[in-house]
């Protein structure tokens, strides 16, 4: 009672809040219940989601993993909450992060349990118990010098850590596991044909605004109507779930429509897309500094030659011309009007160009509109600007250098050499490369 009275207003002013901390840690690992909890009547067991988020569960009922006639697991209940119609769960400041943290800890616990159930774990544990601080420091020095770790106990510990963390989303070990999948795919299907970065513009895209709750008529779209640029940015910042949903929708649309790749629960089908027929693809999602998502994608094209065959084919003029024709049709770093810095500055930088629709293919002057639209989008999205904390990093001598290797190579025409070096036509050295079909149809950054 004294803790409750301490939180009352004094003289009509809201003061600080006194919080009494419990002596027992909160169990956030879900079912199965402890023995003392099993003996409690249904409905008497505490649900900490209801207590931690009273604004989300105003009646004190319906919390995540609450007792109910039909059990709903943690993951599906969180998904349901993030899709709730009034958007209060997805727009809450901490709920998505708390739910993600609990899910990640449960993955770690399950992964550790799998490791501990191995038949060799007891013998491994006895060996790892011999590890001392001096052995770990020695292993650190060996790794810093690029030498293999000499102590078998430390090597075993690292193997267990990688195996455990490899099943946890977002961990470094999970990235190592993805790398091994890429290598195995390359061994099975030869080296990948293309590396693509797809970076949707979620701040101004009208589809992203629809996911965020805005009412926009895409059939009769008017760029001057609807929310202003500040409001669009606020909508995305306040609803990260809508931004992630938009990203997933756009990537799925590109795969299905432009690349002609259809994925079901049992198989993957591919047809002839804008880049050819895809034999396999591998993509990983990253977040930028401001939190928006982008995709790094490796593509394996059907009937592509092996590495040894490519080495021999590149010596022939006919094959090199075929590669140049493919580059000219699908990969670009130049359009008329982007010849120099002066030309680029002469074109207005339309930072909100994503809040638009691509040219109508049924228009009589569609080709002219498409070239003009591609020039505008390339000017707004593909000009590389070096800046500290963005791409400039110090080298071994302390000099700042662009990690994107800008300025890029100047080339009067698309080319490929006998040793496999290739490039697009690029007259202005600070133009990123792009895929025209993705850049103009989806209005985004698409590096190749």
Question: Left, alpha or beta for 406 (phi > 0: left; psi -120 to 50: alpha)?
Answer: beta
> Alpha-carbon distance 131 to 127, whole Å?
8
Q: Which helix (H) or strand (E) holds 71?
A: none
Per-residue pLDDT at 22 = 66
pLDDT of residue 266 exceeding 80, the answer is no
Q: 431 - beta bridge partners?
A: 383
pLDDT band, residue 94 (cuts 50/70/90): confident
H helices within 70-151, ranges in order? 74-82, 95-116, 121-128, 133-144
**pLDDT score of 13:** 60
Does position 415 have pLDDT exceeding 90, yes or no? yes
User: Which of 155-159, 233-237, 411-415 reaches the highest mean pLDDT?
Assistant: 411-415
Tokens representing 416? 């490929």
Confidence class of residue 351 from pLDDT cuts 50, 70 and 90? confident
Residue written as token pair 């739910």: 99
Tell me how far apart the alpha carbons of residues 303 and 276 are, in angstroms, rounded to a whole number: 10
Per-residue confidence (pLDDT) for residue 360, from 0 to 100: 84
> Which has more confidence, 169 or 368?
368
Q: What is the mean pLDDT of residues 427-446?
A: 82
- For 143, phi then psi, to 5°, come to -65, -40
pLDDT at 107 over 90: no
In this prediction, residue 317 carries a pLDDT of 93
Q: How much is the pTM?
A: 0.79
Write the pLDDT tens digit of every residue in 210-226: 998 888 888 888 877 77
Q: pLDDT band at residue 157, thresholds of 50, 70 and 90? A: confident
String of b and e for 85-113 (b: at least 16 CB within 10 Å)?
Answer: eebebbbbeebbebbeebbeebbeeebbe
What is the C-alpha to C-alpha distance for residues 231 and 209, in angstroms, rounded to an integer? 10
> Which of 155-169, 317-331, 353-367 is the most confident on average?
317-331
Q: Among 10-24, 206-220, 356-370, whose mean pLDDT is lowest?
A: 10-24
Percent of the chain scoring above 90 in pLDDT: 25
pLDDT in tens, 168-226: 776 777 777 788 888 898 888 888 999 999 988 888 888 988 998 888 888 888 877 77
- Could you read off the pLDDT of 142-152 as tens digits, one per residue? 888 888 888 88
pLDDT of residue 166: 72
pLDDT at 318: 93
The answer to whether 383 and 399 have CB atoms below 8 angstroms apart is: no
pLDDT band at 61; cut points 50, 70, 90: confident
293 Cβ neighbours under 8 A, 6+ residues apart: 200, 202, 243, 244, 247, 285, 286, 287
Q: Please give the distance of CA 159 from its chain centroid, rounded to a whole number.
A: 27
- pLDDT over threshold 70, residue 20: no
Flag whether pLDDT at 73 surpasses 70. yes
How far is it, in rounded angstroms, from Cα 358 to Cα 177? 39
Average pLDDT, the chain: 83
- Candidate from 211-220, 321-330, 341-350, 404-413 with smallest mean pLDDT: 211-220
């Amino acid at each position: 009672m004294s803790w409750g009275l301490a939180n009352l207003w004094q003289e009509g002013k809201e003061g600080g809040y006194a919080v009494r901390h419990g002596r027992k840690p909160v169990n956030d690992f879900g079912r199965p219940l402890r023995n003392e909890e099993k003996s409690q009547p249904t409905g008497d067991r505490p649900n900490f989601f209801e207590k931690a988020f009273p604004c989300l569960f105003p009646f004190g009922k319906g919390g995540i993993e609450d007792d109910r006639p039909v059990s709903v697991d943690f993951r599906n209940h969180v998904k349901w909450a993030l899709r709730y119609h009034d958007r209060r769960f997805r727009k809450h400041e901490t709920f998505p992060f708390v739910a993600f943290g609990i899910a990640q800890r449960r993955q770690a616990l399950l992964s550790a349990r799998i490791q501990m159930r191995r038949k060799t774990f007891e013998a491994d544990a006895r060996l790892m118990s011999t590890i001392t601080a001096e052995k770990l420091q020695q292993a650190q020095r060996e790794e810093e010098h690029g030498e293999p770790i000499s102590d078998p106990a430390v090597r075993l510990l690292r193997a267990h850590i990688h195996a455990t963390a490899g099943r946890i989303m977002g961990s470094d070990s999970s990235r190592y596991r993805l790398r091994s999948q890429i290598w195995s795919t390359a061994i099975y299907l030869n080296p990948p044909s293309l590396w693509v970065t797809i970076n949707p513009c979620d701040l101004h895209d009208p589809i992203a605004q629809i996911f965020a709750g805005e009412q926009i008529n895409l059939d009769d779209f008017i760029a001057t109507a609807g929310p202003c640029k500040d409001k669009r940015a606020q909508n995305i910042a306040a609803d990260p779930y809508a931004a992630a949903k938009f990203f997933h929708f756009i990537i799925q649309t590109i795969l299905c429509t432009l690349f002609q790749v259809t994925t079901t629960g049992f198989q993957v089908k591919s047809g002839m897309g804008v880049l050819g027929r895809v034999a396999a693809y591998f993509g990983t999602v990253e977040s930028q500094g401001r939190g928006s998502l982008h995709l790094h994608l490796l593509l394996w094209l059907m009937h592509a030659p092996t590495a040894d065959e490519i080495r021999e084919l590149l010596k022939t003029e006919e094959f090199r011309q075929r590669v140049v024709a493919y580059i000219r049709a699908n990969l670009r770093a130049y359009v008329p009007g982007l010849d120099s810095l002066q030309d680029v500055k002469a074109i207005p930088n339309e930072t909100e160009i994503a809040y638009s629709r691509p040219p109508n293919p049924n228009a009589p002057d569609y080709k002219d509109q498409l070239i003009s639209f591609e020039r505008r989008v390339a000017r707004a999205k593909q000009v590389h600007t070096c800046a500290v904390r963005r791409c400039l990093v110090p080298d071994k001598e302390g000099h700042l250098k662009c990690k994107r290797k800008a300025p890029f190579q100047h080339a009067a025409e698309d080319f490929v050499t006998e040793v496999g070096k290739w490039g697009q036509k690029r007259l202005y050295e600070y133009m990123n490369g792009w895929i025209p079909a993705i850049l103009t149809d989806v209005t985004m950054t698409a590096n190749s």
